[in-house]
Chains A and B, each alone.
Chain A
């Protein structure tokens, strides 16, 4: 059984960046809505749009015929690429307007109106949520690949996206010297640690669910013991889960350096997760009578 190779790291980078961007926006919107920190809110809103935009550039690079990219809106009735393209386009437009009207160059437009700001917070968050979760649905719509075609994958990507989004906001707030105090980050550190615990459970259920058919069992073996295993155990488990979780719950205390290590590690882990899921995609065999034939060309 051979895993698919058509969708490679460019797609993983896209899935990852779309998640980080959506997560960062929600982090910013919630920080503002709850009145936790205006500075964090600005960072989150500012990070969302460029992350998703860069992700989209990766996506376009991966196309065999990029000049037809605009046609991706054509079939929202059935295709999750078309639906997703519409979702992230709306997200990017809303996020872009939010930046233009609140941060630069016209800060007074939204800054003066709380209802308008809340509209952008809520409307933007809905589409940020869509951006985070649809990446899992997109892979799930590929029914012959049982490793992807599961209800756990959108949840896994959603939680990882939210978590990496929070970490991107925290990391940026520290290294940009924005003056955000560690105490202001504490609430997000807690939320992120809880998200990582949820992510552990989802990941366990996700892998447990692979027992149903031979091709997804092969995917799980490939990920846990095969050639993807180093990326899974080091990238996803160690960098993506253990390091950020242990550092965020504060076993080594709290400092800027510790938070930088935790968030950088967690963000790298988020990318590794997308890559592991993509490289583990194995197609169902052709079944003819009692014979099974494995596809070798995809």
Chain B
């Protein structure tokens, strides 16, 4: 990637995250994901035993790897990486083989077979909010094909920030340009020893974490 190009990245400060799931909710509201699908998740982890047990939340999303496994295995060319390092799926090219779901080390590929209502006991049609979400989902993603987080690409291109970043009340998520050494995230990564999840897969994720303690 050329030096004058932006490469968007995200830093998640685990010291600040207290697991409120705002990112999950904001992502759902923004991307209109179907029931059971979350591009931004928050997973709870535990180690040790009483009295020295520890808990730590881990917010996850697509890591927008520089060398993505999902891109390597995609047989159709539906998976693409754009000029700012964001990995996207072209819904018109994807054939829905699911190979990316198997290959993504971070579990950030999703295939939805159909729209499911949140209120199975309710009678009649979907309510207006669900109908709206369904229509939005079908417009951008659809069924049977791979869907994923794209760092809210459309908003980011308009100079805005991803929904999960804007909504984080603890300011645990910082979004910015990894190629700019003076950007807030580059400085934070140097100062606080940011790390990537599962570096053994060699995908060089653009999402970094700052240690919890």
Which of B98, B105, B145 makes the CB contact (< 8 A) with A143? B105
Type the 1/0 row for B58-84, where 1 means its CB is closer than 8 Å to any CB of A.
Answer: 101000000001011111111000000
List chain A residues, Cβ under 8 A from B170: none
List chain B residues, Cβ under 8 A from A289: 56, 195, 211-212
List chain B residues, Cβ under 8 A from A78: 71-73
Question: Given known contacts A64-B111, A71-B77, A287-B197, is B95 in contact with A144 (CB within 8 Å)?
Answer: no
Which of A81, A85, A145, A286 makes the CB contact (< 8 A) with B58? A286
Q: How large is the interface on B (under 10, 10 to 19, 20 to 34, 35 or more residues)?
A: 35 or more
Q: Are A72 and B75 in contact, with the CB atoms below 8 A? A: yes
Question: Given known contacts A286-B106, A298-B109, is B96 in contact with A64 (CB within 8 Å)?
Answer: yes
Q: Are B98 and A74 in contact, with the CB atoms below 8 A? A: no
Q: Are A79 and B58 in contact, with the CB atoms below 8 A? A: no
Question: Residue B43 at the A interface, CB < 8 A?
Answer: yes
Question: Residue A190 at the B interface, CB < 8 A?
Answer: no
Q: Are B73 and A72 in contact, with the CB atoms below 8 A? A: no
Question: Residue B87 at the A interface, CB < 8 A?
Answer: no
Question: Given known contacts A141-B73, A145-B102, A288-B58, is B14 in contact with A297 (CB within 8 Å)?
Answer: no
Q: Are A291 and B145 in contact, with the CB atoms below 8 A? A: no
Type the 1/0 row for A140-158, where 1 means its CB is closer than 8 Å to any CB of B.
Answer: 0111110010000000000
Number of A-B residue pairs having CB atoms within 8 Å of each other in the complex: 143
A4-B111 Cα distance, complex, nearest whole Å: 13
Q: Are B95 and A64 in contact, with the CB atoms below 8 A? A: yes
Question: Residue B131 at the A interface, CB < 8 A?
Answer: no
Q: Are B113 and A64 in contact, with the CB atoms below 8 A? A: yes
A62-B99 Cα distance, complex, nearest whole Å: 12
B interface, over-half SS = loop
Q: How large is the interface on A (under 10, 10 to 19, 20 to 34, 35 or more residues)?
A: 35 or more
Q: In the complex, which residue of chain A has the Cβ closest to the Cβ of B109?
A: A298
Q: Are B94 and A68 in contact, with the CB atoms below 8 A? A: yes
A69-B146 Cα distance, complex, nearest whole Å: 14
Question: Residue A258 at the B interface, CB < 8 A?
Answer: no
Question: Given known contacts A143-B201, A284-B198, A291-B56, is B102 in contact with A72 (CB within 8 Å)?
Answer: no
Question: Given known contacts A288-B14, A289-B212, A297-B107, is B101 in contact with A68 (CB within 8 Å)?
Answer: no
Q: Are A75 and B110 in contact, with the CB atoms below 8 A? A: no
| Nearest CB on A from B212, distance (A) | 7
Q: Are B145 and A64 in contact, with the CB atoms below 8 A? A: yes
Q: Which residues of B pack against A, CB within 8 Å? A: 14, 41, 43, 45-47, 56, 58, 60, 69, 71-78, 92-99, 101-107, 109-111, 113, 143-146, 195, 197-198, 201, 209, 211-212
Sample 22 A-B pairs with CB under 8 A, ordered by A number. A62-B97, A63-B97, A63-B144, A64-B96, A64-B98, A64-B143, A64-B146, A65-B94, A68-B94, A72-B95, A79-B74, A79-B99, A80-B73, A81-B73, A81-B75, A82-B75, A141-B73, A142-B73, A286-B58, A289-B212, A292-B45, A293-B45
